[in-house]
Amino acid sequence: MNVFRLAGDVSHLVAIIILLVKIWRSKSCAGISGKSQVLFALVFTTRYLDLFTVFISAYNTIMKVVFLAMSYATVYLIYMRFRNMYDSENDTFRVEFLLVPVIGLSFLENYAFTPLEILWTFSIFLEAVAIMPQLFMITKTGEAESITTHYLFFLGLYRALYIANWVWRYHTEEFFDQIAVVSGVVQTIFYCDFFYLYVTRVLRGKAKMILP
Amino acid sequence: EKGEPPHDEL
């Protein structure tokens, strides 16, 4: 555990809490892609199956359970509790275009051809692209509420900090997880354009982020 | 070198 990794995990936690609290307090999930949230719940579910097979640390176990619980709570709020506010007309990204290549790739490129390893690889690849329905939705509507952009900012920050964590681990413990690093870098690239808009628009006091 | 399970990151 290093400071980048810890800060990355905290950013990830903050992002998920921001989204959950926003939906709960506004009693609305307008502007939120339910599809992205289902994909994230799928990411956590397939990655954290090792909860049943290995014990890494109390921190690891607790964080995994918290992420799982919060991602399912988010999906529940969007599709059950506040489903009449769900903006399905603008959440039209075709997730099968993500799932099919990701499933194929996880069978081709993995560390071991075992069910748990293939599912772990699937979760890593899927996480890299899971935000695309949300970014697609923002592009389609041309705007995002500032709280949604704060959520995306912390999610992107988490990815950037994980890259710093991998650089640190590479130099201090010669750790290099090729699958995680390559897809992590790809994932971070998706946030770059958004980061630019966030800094130039949202942080300068706009209530909404309107796309140029 | 390839990383080996268990995966200790979240």
Say how far apart CA A155 and CA B2 lie, in whole Å.
27
pLDDT single digits (tens) A145-191: 989 999 999 999 999 999 999 999 999 999 999 999 999 999 999 99
| C-alpha to C-alpha distance for A91 and A111, rounded to whole angstroms | 34
Q: Which pLDDT belongs to residue A6?
A: 98
| Residues B1-10 pLDDT 10s | 444 557 999 9
Contact A9 B10 (CB under 8 A): yes
Q: Do the Cβ atoms of B1 and A176 come within 8 Å?
A: yes
- Binary contact (A178, B2; C-beta < 8 A): yes
**Low-confidence residues of chain A: pLDDT under 70:** none
Chain A residues with CB-CB distance to B under 8 A? 5, 9, 12, 47, 50, 53-54, 56-57, 60, 63-64, 67, 111-112, 116-117, 120, 162, 165, 174-180
- What pLDDT, on the 0 to 100 scale, is given for residue A211? 84
ipTM: 0.84
Count contacts between A and B (CB, < 8 Å).
42
Q: Give me the residue label for tokens 């799982």.
A: A68
pLDDT at A160: 95
- What is the reported pLDDT for B5? 59
CB atoms within 10 A of CB A135: 18
Only one residue has tokens 């958004």, namely: A194
C-beta atoms of A67 and B10 within 8 A = yes
Unique residue bearing structure tokens 């979240």: B10
Q: Which residues of chain B from 1 to 10 reach within 8 Å of chain A, CB to CB?
A: 1-10
Residue contact A175–B7, C-beta within 8 A: no
How many other CB atoms are there within 10 angstroms of residue B9's CB atom?
20
Do A56 and B6 lie within an 8 Å CB cutoff? yes
For residue B6, which phi and psi values (nearest 5 degrees)?
A: -75, 155
